[in-house]
């Protein structure tokens, strides 16, 4: 019974990175698939942007994306020294502890910039700590996945 639990936990842990890889593929594909979409289509699949900028016939719509994944790594060490001495009817002792620790935290997110020229998507750019070594862009998929699905239809 315990082996089945260990196997189930192991399989779940092995599958989780697969989700991040799939999101990275969706995000990377969307950069190509979204080119040519109209403003109206982008509004329909991504909603209103967090910020807009315009210069001539070029507009840049920015969106915040991600699941606010935060990874925390902590390291610690503790040493305790104890000495006790005594005799008939008495005892004395002394204890000292020395501890140290370090914590490192990193947050993944994505800023998606949709560049529109003459009202159509010309380019989709991603910035920020968007994913891991093999999952670059995975945090961007949350914002663009609806557009990617819309184009695939």
**Segment holding 39, helix H or strand E:** helix 39-46
Q: Is residue 83 part of a domain?
A: no
- Note the pTM of the prediction, 2 decimals: 0.66
Q: Which among 147, 149, 141, 148 has a CA at the least distance from the CA of 110?
A: 141
Q: Which among 68, 72, 69 has a CA at the least distance from the CA of 105?
A: 72
**Total residue length of the chain:** 153
The domain tally of the chain equals 1
Q: Is residue 131 part of a domain?
A: yes
Task: Quote the domain boundaries for residue 24.
Answer: 2-73+104-152
pLDDT for 132-144, tens place per residue?
777 778 889 999 9
Cα 102 to Cα 72: distance, rounded to the nearest angstrom: 10
User: 13 vs 112, which has greater pLDDT?
Assistant: 112
pLDDT for 72-85, tens place per residue?
788 888 888 888 88
């Amino acid at each position: 019974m315990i082996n089945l639990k260990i196997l189930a936990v192991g399989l779940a842990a092995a599958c989780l990175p697969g989700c991040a890889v799939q999101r990275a593929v969706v995000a990377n594909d969307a950069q190509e698939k979204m080119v040519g979409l109209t403003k109206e289509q982008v509004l329909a699949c991504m909603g209103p942007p967090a910020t807009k900028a315009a210069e001539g016939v070029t507009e840049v719509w920015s969106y915040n994306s991600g699941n606010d994944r935060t990874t925390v790594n902590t390291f610690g060490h503790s040493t305790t020294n104890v000495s006790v001495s005594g005799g008939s009817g008495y005892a004395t002792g002394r204890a000292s502890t020395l501890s140290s620790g370090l914590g490192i935290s990193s947050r993944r997110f994505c800023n998606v910039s949709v560049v529109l020229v003459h009202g159509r998507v010309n380019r989709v750019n991603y910035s920020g700590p968007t994913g891991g070594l093999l999952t670059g862009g995975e945090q961007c998929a949350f914002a663009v996945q609806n557009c990617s699905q819309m184009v695939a239809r």
